[in-house]
């Protein structure tokens, strides 16, 4: 065997390991075929992508060796250290296709076999068979047993399994508005027919007292919008006048109250008056809601209101109906009104006060009524960087009752805490977060997408890729954080499936998490390997980005792999030395890693 580079194994015959009994096959000598064949395998060592090892096998025979009527088959298999041999495919030379040709007989085949970690290392083996058309007799090389490829590197490169399971904490929105908010207050005043005078009974009635109390308290108010309307009877000019004068009367009374309670000009709200003239909408609503009319009467009235004609002509038609007196009593009076909508500035606690109360509630020093859920969620999300305090505040919300946002965000805090741990402790913390995400996902839209994205990351870390992908189906959201988290999981899954272009696409839209950037660099590395392009420039650029985010042991180990693939022994040693300094386990791994099969001295130098 002659090693041309990492990706090429050329085998020139010496298929024989031990004695090889070769006999003539009616004119075509199997030993002559075997001694003169060349077999090129790319890549070598073999490499795992997805769940399969795929490689190119190029077999070449000298010109004029093959004869008509004969077939030479080369069966290829992978013989693992654990388990039975796995068929990879067959390369067939049909004599009729090559007989008499001045050019060498050459066949290219894309061969593959399924792989999993349990089968361990192994090597390619093959068996040559010569057969003649019309004859059942077949002559095989090596007494009918498979022989190892002479000089073949034993094992399979499994760099694709270095993908890092990624989980990113996704928080649901706390729902608290930190800006100015206004609460609408409503006051309605009613007028007599053809009148715009605000009566004493109205000023001292329920609505009048409500307005007087509101103004006396000097509530911060942005605007007061007063809408005036009229009942249908009367000419257009009178109706228009009433619709304008009635809100003006209410504004005047409001202003009198402000003077009484000594409002400054800065304290006074903006007034907006709106007349509603000759509009049937309120009439229809009152009629429809009334229980004083039969269905037949309502149909009769509405047929006129919804029919042809102007406002005045419709009113004249209504006067001819037997139900008109009831309209005058039950429908018309409420239409003679002025309705005021007062936008009161909502009172809010200062953030420092919210934070202090939230901590006291979490410690049991304040009752659960001291803050609303939104205020507590805001305190946890925005007012403290401490994960312990966030956790305690979210737990306080849940003591008040079930809350989807609190469930999800409590789990997300536990995710962030788990990021700081390793091994079994990290896994236990992730497991503890899962029930919170499940509770949030079941409760509905408030945090369902975020919870599903978190569940996908949790299942991925717990080794259940199928459950992770199932959770992604419910993580539909336009939220940037949800998109990033789901794309991180999709990118990992795509690497595991050997779909590197897809992985790069997902990971490029998954944010700047250190593991995301590492996986993207790995995807670029594996893409160049699978495509056999030999161009690792994109992988190197992605590695720099990953190293800037986190100069970790695994990033440096991947840099050593890229250096090996580029044939740079010095860069390999530098990167591997850095990886081992951060995690000594990489020293042992590098010694057996087939990525470095041609760089034993560089590996030894890094391991010192």
CATH number of the domain encompassing residue 24: 2.60.40
Backbone angles phi, psi at 367, to 5 degrees: -75, 165
> What single DSSP character describes residue 12?
E
CA 282 to chain centre: 48
Sign of CA dihedral 315, 317, 322, 323: negative
Residues 405 and 533 in one domain: yes
Query: Quick one: which of 583, 580, 4, 582 has its CA closest to 604?
Result: 580
Residue 438, number of CB atoms within 10 A of its CB:
18
Range of the domain at 217: 182-345
Task: Answer whether residue 509 is part of any domain.
Answer: yes
**Within 13 Å and on the Cβ side, how many CA atoms surround 120?**
8
Tokens linked to 139: 């002559």
Backbone angles phi, psi at 79, to 5 degrees: -105, 105
Separation of alpha carbons 55 and 53, rounded Å: 7
Query: Quick one: which of 162, 166, 168, 165 has its CA closest to 555?
Result: 162
Distances (CA, A) of 497 to 53, 76, 315, 542: 12, 24, 76, 20
Task: Answer whether residue 73 is part of any domain.
Answer: yes
Continuous segment of H or E residues that includes residue 377: helix 373-382
Domain boundary among 345, 372, 404: 345
**Within 13 Å and on the Cβ side, how many CA atoms surround 443?**
18
User: What is the pLDDT at residue 20?
Assistant: 32
Residues 234 and 285 in one domain: yes
Tokens linked to 306: 């919804």
Residues 150 and 217 in one domain: no
Residue 559, number of CB atoms within 10 A of its CB:
25
Q: Is 132 helix (H, G, I), strand (E, B) or coil?
A: strand
Separation of alpha carbons 46 and 119, rounded Å: 14
Task: Answer whether residue 576 is part of any domain.
Answer: no
Residues 356 and 340 in one domain: no
Domain boundary among 345, 367, 393: 345
Q: Is 79 helix (H, G, I), strand (E, B) or coil?
A: strand
User: What is the pLDDT at residue 143?
Assistant: 80
Query: Quick one: which of 240, 242, 232, 227 has its CA closest to 197?
Result: 242
Task: Answer whether residue 588 is part of any domain.
Answer: no
The answer to whether residues 456 and 486 touch, using CB atoms and an 8 Å cutoff, is: yes
Angle (CA) 45-47-53 rounded to 5° is 120
Residues 133 and 279 in one domain: no
Task: Answer whether residue 167 is part of any domain.
Answer: no
Continuous segment of H or E residues that includes residue 392: helix 387-400
Residues 39 and 134 in one domain: yes
Residues 388 and 492 in one domain: yes
Separation of alpha carbons 159 and 177, rounded Å: 48
Tokens linked to 218: 């000097």
User: What is the pLDDT at residue 30?
Assistant: 60
Task: Answer whether residue 406 is part of any domain.
Answer: yes
Residues 412 and 492 in one domain: yes
What averages of pLDDT result for each successive group of 10 residues across the chain (608 residues)? 41 37 47 76 91 92 90 93 93 91 92 90 90 87 82 86 92 92 95 96 96 95 96 94 97 96 94 95 96 97 96 95 96 97 92 96 95 96 97 97 96 95 93 96 89 94 92 87 94 95 96 95 95 91 96 96 95 97 95 94 92
Q: Is 148 helix (H, G, I), strand (E, B) or coil?
A: strand
CA 34 to chain centre: 55
Residues 242 and 371 in one domain: no
pTM: 0.73
User: What is the pLDDT at residue 151?
Assistant: 66
Domain boundary among 499, 519, 550: 550
CATH number of the domain encompassing residue 379: 1.25.40.10
Task: Answer whether residue 163 is part of any domain.
Answer: no
Say how many domains are in the chain: 3
The tokens 């005021």 sit on which residue? Answer: 340
Cis peptide before 529 (omega within 30 of 0): no
Q: Give Cβ neighbours of residue 155 (< 8 Å, ≥ 6 apart).
A: 45, 46, 121, 122, 123, 594
Separation of alpha carbons 275 and 358, rounded Å: 48
Residues 53 and 136 in one domain: yes
User: What is the pLDDT at residue 22?
Assistant: 34
Residue 263, number of CB atoms within 10 A of its CB:
16
Task: Answer whether residue 600 is part of any domain.
Answer: no
Residues 545 and 463 in one domain: yes
Residues 385 and 451 in one domain: yes
Residue 21, number of CB atoms within 10 A of its CB:
13
Separation of alpha carbons 468 and 462, rounded Å: 9
Angle (CA) 218-224-227 rounded to 5° is 145
């Amino acid at each position: 065997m002659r090693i041309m580079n990492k990706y090429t194994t050329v085998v020139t015959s010496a298929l024989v390991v031990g004695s090889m009994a070769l006999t003539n096959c009616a004119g075509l000598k199997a030993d002559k075929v075997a001694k003169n064949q060349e077999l090129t395998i790319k890549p070598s060592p073999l490499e795992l992508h997805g769940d399969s090892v795929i490689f190119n096998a190029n077999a070449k025979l000298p010109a004029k060796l093959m004869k008509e009527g004969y077939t030479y088959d080369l069966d290829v298999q992978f013989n693992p250290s654990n388990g039975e041999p796995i068929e990879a495919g067959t390369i067939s030379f049909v004599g009729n296709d090559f007989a008499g040709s001045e050019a060498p007989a050459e066949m290219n085949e894309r061969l593959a076999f399924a792989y999993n970690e349990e089968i361990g290392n192994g090597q390619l083996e093959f068996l040559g068979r010569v057969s003649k058309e019309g004859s059942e007799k077949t002559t095989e090389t090596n007494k009918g047993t498979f022989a190892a490829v002479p000089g073949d590197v034993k094992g399979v490169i499994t760099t694709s399994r270095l993908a890092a399971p990624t989980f990113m904490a996704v928080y649901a929105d706390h729902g608290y508005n930190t800006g100015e908010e206004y609460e609408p207050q409503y006051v309605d005043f009613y007028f007599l027919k053809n009148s715009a005078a605000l009566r004493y009974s109205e000023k001292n009635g329920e609505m009048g007292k409500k307005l007087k109390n509101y103004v006396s308290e000097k509530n911060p108010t942005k605007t007061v919008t007063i809408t005036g309307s009229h009942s249908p009877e009367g000419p257009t000019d009178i109706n228009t006048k009433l619709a304008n004068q009635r809100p003006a009367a209410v504004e005047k009374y409001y202003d009198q109250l402000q003077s009484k309670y000594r409002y400054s000009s800065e304290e006074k709200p903006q007034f907006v008056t709106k007349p509603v003239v000759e509009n049937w909408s309120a009439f229809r609503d009152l009629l429809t809601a009334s229980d004083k009319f039969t269905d037949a009467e309502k149909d009769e009235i509405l047929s006129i209101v919804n029919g042809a004609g102007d406002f005045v002509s419709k009113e004249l038609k209504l006067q001819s109906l037997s139900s008109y007196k009831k309209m005058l009593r039950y429908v018309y009076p409420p239409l003679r009104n002025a309705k005021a909508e007062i936008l009161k500035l909502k009172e809010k606690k200062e953030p420092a006060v919210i934070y202090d109360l939230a901590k006291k509630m979490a410690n049991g020093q304040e009752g659960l009524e001291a803050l609303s859920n939104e205020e507590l969620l805001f305190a946890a999300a925005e007012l403290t960087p401490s994960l312990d305090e966030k956790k305690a505040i979210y737990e306080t919300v849940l003591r008040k009752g079930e809350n989807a946002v609190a469930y999800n965000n409590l789990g997300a805090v536990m995710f962030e805490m788990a990021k700081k741990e390793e091994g079994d402790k990290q896994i236990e913390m992730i497991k503890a977060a899962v029930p919170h995400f499940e509770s949030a996902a079941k409760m509905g839209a408030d945090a369902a997408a975020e919870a599903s994205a978190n569940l996908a990351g949790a299942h991925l870390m717990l080794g259940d890729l199928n459950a992770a992908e199932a959770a992604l189906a419910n993580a539909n959201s336009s939220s940037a954080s949800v998109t990033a988290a789901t794309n991180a999981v999709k990118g990992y899954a795509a690497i595991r499936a050997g779909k590197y272009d897809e992985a790069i696409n997902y990971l490029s839209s998954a944010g700047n998490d250190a593991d995301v950037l590492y996986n993207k660099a790995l995807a670029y590395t594996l893409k160049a390997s699978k495509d056999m392009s030999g161009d690792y420039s994109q992988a190197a650029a992605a590695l720099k980005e990953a190293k800037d985010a986190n100069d970790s042991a695994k990033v440096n180990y991947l840099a050593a792999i890229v250096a090996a693939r580029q044939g740079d022994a010095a860069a390999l040693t530098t990167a591997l030395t850095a990886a081992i300094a951060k995690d000594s386990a990489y020293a042992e791994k590098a010694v057996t890693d087939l990525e470095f099969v041609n760089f034993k001295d560089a590996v030894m130098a890094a391991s010192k």
